[in-house]
Amino acid sequence: MTSSALGRLQPPARTAPRFLFVHVNKRCNLKCLHCDFWRLNDDDKRNYLSWPRKHEVIREFAELNPRGSVVTCGGESMLDLEDYFAIPIACRQLGLKSLSVVNGTRIRDEALADRMIREGPHEISISLNSHRPELHDETRGVEGSFKKAVAAVRLLLEARHRHPGSTTRVYVMGLIFDQNYRELDAFYDFVLNEVGADKLKLNFLQPSFGHSSPDDEFFARHCRLDPDELLRSIEYCDRKYRLKLNPRWKRAVHMYFTSLLASGETSRGWQARTVTSEHICNTYERNIMVDHYGVARLCFSTAFPGARLQAYGDLRRFWEGSDFIRERMRKCNRYCGISHSVRRESATLRLGDAASAYI
């Protein structure tokens, strides 16, 4: 057999991971109704992956994909500022892109905003549940959190203006649920025109994060909305604000909420046996999630096997040796498939290209 024939018989090489998610902490200073992380703590921080090993993992990821992106995760990751900044600083040194979603409460003055632009993530998203202060504060569980989040966006934009040449992107991450989905136009107008953020990214309500109780009342009360009306609103905003939204993403969003309407188990949250009618996730093809203790997985769920990263080379071995996990994950239709972190379809399209990518 010729060498060229041998080459044709060999399976294609696995593509490199595109995103590495690294956890900083578990606690939070808000009390979001759609999340239970604020009930946790970092009392066992001594057991967390050490910074030298964490830096090694990031360096190994850079070898796997020199153009990859590292996502800093919490809790509210900015509650531990030096741990928080260590990740984007390392990324800048290694030529990687750094991303982060925070609640904005720690970005209170020009000095910290300037540091975020100089040393922080290349892409900073501030979470905002609504353009209405009362709804954001109600669902975030702390009065005044809306004012702090919006102030953080404005401080970051002003800091970027003070640093000519900065390529830092400042986004707002919106959460869409039954109380605000009819207000998308006003939400986009507030974020893009009144505040001036670079983008409003839409995330959709899922079972409560970190919630392991048998009942999920908030999700059950607020996940049911009219999929047709939501889609019409998204289409309207797409045209009005020239968003270049991905048609396949729009269909996935419609399918997700249609699936929730058909479910009789939404009150069980993550314990529900019902799932989406279509498979919309591809985290296993592009993501590695490393938890606080140094266990790597292909998604945030512990339902699939992981591997402890004990030595240099373990990250590569995990990524290249996990096809048996991928086979199982291709059959998973859990509700988290709609998340911006794991969904197959990006909300927006690349310029001049119908192909989508995580944006």
* SS3 readout for 12-50: CCCCCCCEEEEECCCCCCCCCCCECHHHCCCCCHHHCCC
Q: Which amino acid is at 80?
A: D
Confidence check: pLDDT of 1 > 60: no
Supply the Cα-derived Rg of the chain in whole angstroms.
20
Q: Residue 278's pLDDT is what?
A: 97
pLDDT, mean of residues 199-224? 91
How many distinct helices (H) and strands (E) make up the chain? 12, 9
pLDDT, mean of residues 302-325? 97
pLDDT, mean of residues 225-238? 98
The DSSP code for 208 is P
Task: Look over the chain and give the mean of its residue pLDDT values, rounded to a whole number.
Answer: 93
| Predicted model pTM | 0.92
Q: Residue 69's pLDDT is what?
A: 98
Which pLDDT band holds residue 92 (cuts at 50, 70, 90)? very high
Residues in the chain, total: 359
Q: Going from the N-terminus, what domains does the chain have, and what CATH number goes with each?
A: 15-210+281-338 (3.20.20.70)
**DSSP H or E segment with residue 174:** strand 169-176
Confidence check: pLDDT of 327 > 50: yes
Which pLDDT band holds residue 212 (cuts at 50, 70, 90)? confident
Q: Which is nearest to 293 in space by CA: 49, 72, 129?
A: 49
Q: How far is 298 from 205, CA to CA, in rounded Å?
A: 21
Count of CA atoms in the C-beta half-sphere (13 A) of 86: 18
Confidence check: pLDDT of 4 > 80: no
Which pLDDT band holds residue 9 (cuts at 50, 70, 90)? very low
Q: How far is 127 from 101, CA to CA, in rounded Å?
A: 7
Confidence check: pLDDT of 10 > 60: no
Q: Which is nearest to 172 in space by CA: 127, 131, 108, 205?
A: 127
Q: Residue 351's pLDDT is what?
A: 53
Q: How far is 334 from 275, CA to CA, in rounded Å?
A: 5
Sheet-wide strand order for 295-297: 199-204, 169-176, 123-128, 97-102, 69-73, 19-23, 287-290, 295-297, 307-308
Q: Which is nearest to 302 in space by CA: 310, 292, 313, 311?
A: 292
Greater confidence (37 vs 139) lies with 139
Confidence check: pLDDT of 323 > 60: yes
Read off the pLDDT of residues 251-265 as tens digits, 9 standing for 90 and up.
999 999 999 999 999
The runs of H, that is alpha helices, within the chain are: 3-9, 51-64, 81-94, 110-119, 133-140, 145-162, 184-189, 217-222, 227-241, 247-262, 314-320, 323-329
Read off the pLDDT of residues 146-187 as tens digits, 9 standing for 90 and up.
999 999 999 999 999 999 999 999 999 999 999 999 999 999
Q: Residue 355's pLDDT is what?
A: 33
Query: CB neighbours (10 Å) of residue 11?
Result: 6
Count of CA atoms in the C-beta half-sphere (13 A) of 132: 13
Q: Residue 350's pLDDT is what?
A: 67
Which pLDDT band holds residue 13 (cuts at 50, 70, 90)? low
Q: Residue 210's pLDDT is what?
A: 77
Which pLDDT band holds residue 359 (cuts at 50, 70, 90)? very low
